[in-house]
C-alpha cells in the first residue's frame, strides 16, 4: 500500500480510492501535466 504524498515517477499519490481482489486504485497528481489521474 502506498502512503499519501509518496511519489511514483511523475505522479504524487493523494489518497486511496478503492481496493479490490487484484488491485488498488489511487487518486494521484501528475506533476508534469498538472492534472489529477487515477492509478491502478
Task: Extract the runs of DSSP E, i.e. beta strands, from 1-40.
Answer: 7-8, 11-19, 24-30, 35-39
Q: What is the pLDDT at residue 18?
A: 97
Judge whether 36 and 28 are in contact, CB under 8 Å. Answer: yes
What tens digit of pLDDT does each residue of 5-33 get?
899 999 999 999 999 999 999 999 999 99
| pLDDT at residue 1 greater than cutoff 80 | no
CA distance 18 to 12: 17
CA distance 32 to 38: 15
Amino acid at each position: 500500500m502506498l502512503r499519501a504524498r509518496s511519489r511514483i515517477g511523475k505522479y504524487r499519490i493523494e489518497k486511496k480510492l478503492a481496493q479490490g481482489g487484484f488491485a488498488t486504485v489511487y487518486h494521484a497528481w501528475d506533476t508534469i501535466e498538472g492534472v489529477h489521474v487515477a492509478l491502478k
